[in-house]
A and B are shown apart, each in its own frame.
Chain A
Amino acid sequence: MNFPILSVVTFLPLAGAVFLIFVHRDRKNFLRSLALAFTLINFVLSLFLYIHFNPQTAETQFVEKGPWIGYGINYHIGIDGLSLFLVLLTTFLMPIAILSSWNYIQKKVKEYMIFMLILETGIIGVFVSFNLFLFYVFWEVTLIPMYFLIGVWGGPRRIYATLKYVLFTMLGSLLMLVAIFVLYSTYYKATGVYSFNIFDLSKLILNPNLQLWLFLAFALSFAIKVPMFPLHTWLPDAHVEAPTAGSVILAAILLKMGAYGFLRFGLPLFPDAVMKLLPVLAVLSLIGIIYGGLMALIQKDIKSLVAYSSVSHMGLIMLAIFSLNIEAIEGAIYQMLNHGLSTGALFLIVGILYERAHTRQIKDFGGVSSQMPVFSAFFLICMLSSIGLPGLNGFIGEILCIFGIFKTSKLLAILGISTVILAAAYLLWMFQRVMQGPIKNEKIYSFTDINKREISYLVPIVIMMFWMGIYPRPFLKRMDHSVSDLLNKVNRKERIFIQAEEDKKALTEVNNLINTEKNKEMEEEAK
């Protein structure tokens, strides 16, 4: 593969953003169409990744490497079974997000679209980077557009919400930055080689104490993103204030960056620390499941209800990740995709309601179904997907997660399975109060059913929900090897270790090892 497809998929949106700068700000529809075109083309391009992905290997695919700044700061991107579908989820949802903001965003359309496109590049970059420094740059890049998306196009308390969001995430990422550099210098001290390459870094055996601190720094950053209990309070505020598309991207994709961070970096880099903290992490995840569910039950605003449901769902995903077996982690990745689809769709649906009612308070609704029957059908399917009804995507992820958790700890599974009831309770209750019953609010009589544009972005999501629920094989198959490889790393099988001590003997041995590896690589490249 000579064509740098992955780089193109990563940077095409950025190129689009640059292009948009030169379009006059009054040509709103042209700006919207351009942004849509760029994201759509990017989606089509990303399908090549899916088609040409080789499911038979755990090796990183579509690898592109190149020097950048030096000192180990290289351009190194690629895709494996952990990241493939997260990239696809991003490219899939971006055009949908842009379509959903077509009418809703009327002020500063140009800037809005530019930020959306930058955001896409940032997110994809996070999922494809194998160089820690590069990863960190992309990680921070996603923060900036989101900050403005909420802060400029958000609701009445947008400044408070966006600051809270930024402060929370900045706090985490600064600590992570420190940890990254400590890791980097430890590696340098051990080997004499500068490297941010995570494959190199994961060969280090760190002293347990250091490992613990470094892991905590990474984990804090990821846990805020997820968000794990008790770091979740930025999420409802950010969601309530964010514009619809912002919420969609935030819930569907940005939160996944946290869970992905644990999978890609947290587990393989610091396996001993993970093992040590496993009980704490598992219990926090479990609390997240139940706490998020209970809080969702009593929310008065539909959007914050969906936000708290995210806390609950992400809790299940995290608990599955920390169960450290193949079913659980595949289930967790699957559930990330499911959550992306179903919660993304639910935010779109709230957006559709908001555009008609200009309120999101549950008490202002009631009986909407009779006024909007087609919309009601979509709402129902998305809700059922989120509840985990068999035949739709959520079930596959949920049953794999819970089965995996069960294999590791029966007690955690029994407690975690309460999500099955809670999710049904808060969603059905909300659905009942919003969509069913008699029409109490006069305003509802003026609601029109969803239009073609709205149908056009809900239909692909619903099709995916059915596909992933009925025939999940193509997805699971492509995760298999990468997930078992990850587990091998965590369990310290099939690994070359580097002792992080200044023992000269060890040092030469390690250097030899690395040199032979490098020779191998050179040979391969020569071939």
Chain B
Amino acid sequence: MTEIFWLIPFLPLLSSFILAIFGRTLPKKYISFQACLAVFASFIISVISFFGLLKISQESYPLIKSLFTWIASGSFTINFSLQFDPLSAVMAMVVSGVGFIIHVYSVGYMDKDKGYSRYFTYLNLFTFAMLLLVMSSNIVLMFVGWEGVGLCSYLLIGFWFEKDSAANAGKKAFIVTRIGDLGFLLGIFFIFVHIGSAEFTAINQAISGGAVTQGLATLIALLLFMGAVGKSAQIPLYVWLPDAMEGPTPVSALIHAATMVTAGVYMVCRMNLLYTLSGTAALVVGVIGAVTAVYAATMALTQNDIKRVLAYSTISQIGYMFIGCGVGAYSAGMFHLYTHAFFKSLLFLSAGSVMHALSGELDMRKMGGLRKYLPFTYPAFLIGAIAIAGVPFLSGFFSKDAILTQAFANKQYFIWILGVLGAILTAFYMFRLIFLTFQGEERLEPEAKEHLHESPPVMTIPLGILAFFSIIAGFIGVPAVFGEKLNWFNKFLEPVMRPGHEVHLSIQTEWLLIIISVAVALFGIYLAYIFYIKKPQTPHQLNAKFPYVYKLLYNKYYVDEIYNAVFVKPVVRGSEIVYDNFDLKVIDGAVNGSASVTGLSGKILSYLQTGLIKDYALVFLFGVILFLGYLLF
């Protein structure tokens, strides 16, 4: 039965294709039915294949299905082939599973949108591209999925293209991630030239066989990581993700939280041998992850837009995943990716439910006290917040703890400290969001209050499912102190992430670390409670005391403005100057001058109007004969 795994990505593609061509004429009910069914079918096949994978021996990993030779030119041969191994299995189930839930939620959320079929066309297409990304057996095909999800991201961010801000954000996302992709492409070329194949199995063989020097490994790993930095929104290419919130909220949940933005983490895990071999590259990954984790969290502190807080939180959490990879704990990174997919999509969908209730309001300053109006959304949101804050024993606690423990165990104390600092900030900004939105006094616009309503079941049921998983998903990867054998997740991924990376600590140390993370989480929550419930004047007092800090954070360190001034404007202005002075004056000037085109044109005009082609032909023929004669005789 595992043979059918190759169908997983193609079902959503088929659905997308049908919707793209006939979507405008199909009834809405059918559209949503088909779109959801296709993704659900992919999920079912993923699960079946996953169980098939458990049955067979590890020696036969990965399962490979070669469909056809895609490109073949000289030494550049690429097969269109898919593979299925534990890593792909986890990703495929997360993508199709969470994807399905979000598809269902979208049925309610997008109900009144005029671009209904277009929306599901894109969303299905995204699911295909993402599944292709995680299931391709070579890095070029992976790049196809990589660019494919980028395209869908562009289309869905700019889904409401009539809004300038949405169109702008889509374009920005596409171009900024492309900067990273440039490195990715170069990395692929280096692999091809030096290893001779783009297949992951061949690359891994070459690395374990010692065919790759450390220097080469570092070069390739860093180039590929450039792609990851773009796609997974890390420093310095994170700027597109906050703007990406212009897209419909379910899109933010699926693409810009649960799946696409974590593609970089998946890629690093897929190439884990390379990063381990290099060492330097792994360190870079870890440091960028750690710095991003704290940096993004500080920006989340002052935002008033509910989705932007979540966006910065996503950037920060992906930073944690990269910490895991950077310190060699790849399966811990993957584990956080997996739990994050649940609680972050839960948070986004709950935020969507809040927006739905408030007729699209995003500003937390115009919320407050919503808990009594949204009896279902509030607990869902709260569960998500508790999970991300790292309160035991919800999913986020286990995965974040696994990462921080490994950072400590690998003696990366600097990274560990940043991680702990980030954890305080995370708990703080998350509960700031909860308190501002659901607790305290009501600051609603009167008009919004009139229409205030809880979302329909088609939206709240997905929230329930995600909340359920946000609570229990962590139990497949409990820390070693509770028993070595309980960490099923690590064991399952072991064939892909060769064992030996994870260092074991003494039980006392590990307990101590767990206590620290719990304390940190609770401290963050307590701080938020003081700031926003007990003494709500505190934030204002702080702003008054440190106006520059507040302004800096509120304006996101002015990075967008700096990029604009340093990169965008000079390029555009410089090109304009060159165009006016060089292209129009120097080159054309020379041409016009020497041929005196302008003077001739009058004569030619009258000549043209006589329409005598034969004159021209005659003159031409005469010239040719002259030349012939001259040269021959």
A residues apposed to B, CB below 8 Å? 71, 111, 140, 144, 148, 151-152, 159-160, 163-164, 167-168, 177-178, 181-182, 184-185, 230, 233-234, 291, 294-295, 297-298, 325-327, 330-331, 367, 369-370, 377, 384, 389-391, 395-396, 399-400, 402-404, 406-407, 413-414, 417-418, 420-421, 424-425, 428-429, 432, 435-439, 471-473, 476-477, 480
Contact = CB atoms under 8 A, between A and B. Distances in A.
A435 B162 CA distance: 9
A243 B587 CA distance: 25
A399 B151 CA distance: 18
Given A331-B73, A420-B182, A230 B608 contact: no
Contacts of B140: 399
Given A294-B571, A297-B571, A476-B73, A391 B148 contact: yes
B144 A390 contact: yes
Interface in B300-330: none
Which secondary structure characterizes the binding site on chain A? helix
Interface stretch (B379-387, B388-396, B473-481, B612-620): B612-620
A417 B186 contact: yes
Contacts of A429: 171
B167 A432 contact: yes
Given A391-B148, A428-B175, A294 B73 contact: no
Contact of A144 (B69, B70, B588, B617): B617
B608 A384 contact: no
B171 A432 contact: yes
B575 A421 contact: no
A297 B575 contact: yes
Contact of A177 (B74, B158, B624): B624
Contacts of B151: 384, 389
B572 interface: yes
Given A428-B174, A472-B70, 15 more contacts: A111-B611, A144-B616, A163-B600, A234-B591, A297-B571, A297-B572, A367-B162, A417-B182, A424-B174, A432-B167, A432-B170, A436-B162, A473-B72, A476-B73, A477-B72
B193 interface: yes
A160 B632 contact: no
Contacts of B605: 159
Nearest to A326: B74
Contacts of A428: 154, 171, 174-175
B71 A396 contact: yes
27 contacts: A148-B613, A159-B608, A164-B591, A177-B627, A181-B631, A291-B578, A294-B578, A297-B572, A298-B572, A327-B75, A370-B162, A400-B76, A403-B192, A413-B189, A417-B182, A418-B182, A420-B178, A421-B175, A424-B175, A424-B178, A428-B154, A432-B171, A436-B158, A437-B167, A438-B163, A472-B71, A477-B72
B248 to A, nearest CB: 16
Given A295-B579, A407-B193, A476-B73, A421 B178 contact: yes
A116 to B, nearest CB: 14
Select the residue from B71, B147, B583 with max chain A CB neighbours within 10 A.
B71
A390 B181 CA distance: 12
Interface residues of B, number: 66
Contact of B74 (A327, A391, A420, A421): A327
A177 B574 CA distance: 40
Nearest to B129: A391
A295 B168 CA distance: 21
A400 B69 CA distance: 15
Contacts of B571: 294, 297
B73 A327 contact: yes
Contacts of A369: 161
Contacts of A297: 571-572, 575
A447 B400 CA distance: 55
A330 B189 contact: no
B73 A390 contact: no
A148 B611 CA distance: 9
B213 interface: no
Select the residue from A295, A370, A403 with max chain B CB neighbours within 10 A.
A403
A1 to B, nearest CB: 28
B562 interface: no
Contacts, number: 161
B185 interface: yes
A432 B171 CA distance: 8
Given A390-B147, A424-B178, A185 B613 contact: no
A471 B68 contact: yes
Contacts of B611: 111
A163 B162 contact: no
A207 B54 CA distance: 71
A406 B189 contact: yes
Contact of A159 (B143, B604, B620): B604
Given A420-B185, A424-B174, A425-B175, A437 B161 contact: yes
Contact of B144 (A164, A327, A391): A391
Nearest to B616: A144
Nearest to B160: A436
A108 to B, nearest CB: 9
Contact of A330 (B68, B74, B164): B74
Nearest to B620: A140
B304 to A, nearest CB: 25
Contacts of A185: 631-632
A41 to B, nearest CB: 25
Contacts of B73: 326-327, 330-331, 400, 476, 480
A57 B559 CA distance: 58
B598 interface: yes
A163 B597 CA distance: 7
A168 B590 CA distance: 12
Contacts of B574: 294
Interface in B416-443: none
A438 B166 CA distance: 11
B628 interface: yes
- For the complex of A and B, the 6 pairs showing the least CB-CB separation, nearest first, are A326-B74, A436-B167, A390-B144, A436-B161, A294-B575, A181-B631
Contacts of A326: 73-74
Interface in B172-195: 174-175, 178-179, 181-182, 185-186, 189, 192-193
Contact of B587 (A163, A233, A298): A233
B161 A167 contact: no
Contact of B591 (A233, A389, A418): A233
A390 B143 contact: yes
B45 to A, nearest CB: 22
B544 interface: no
A111 B608 CA distance: 13
B56 interface: no
A209 B574 CA distance: 40
Contact of B601 (A160, A390, A399): A160
A509 B133 CA distance: 62
A395 B597 CA distance: 40
B182 A421 contact: yes
A422 B273 CA distance: 33
B576 interface: yes
A178 B627 contact: yes
A391 to B, nearest CB: 6
A287 B577 CA distance: 17
A327 B72 CA distance: 9
Given A167-B595, A418-B182, A424-B175, A437 B627 contact: no
A164 B596 CA distance: 10
A424 B150 CA distance: 12
Interface in B347-367: none
Contacts of A439: 162
Contacts of B613: 144, 148
Nearest to A328: B74
B147 to A, nearest CB: 5
A436 B160 CA distance: 9
A425 B568 CA distance: 10
B33 to A, nearest CB: 23
Contacts of A389: 147, 151
B178 A295 contact: no
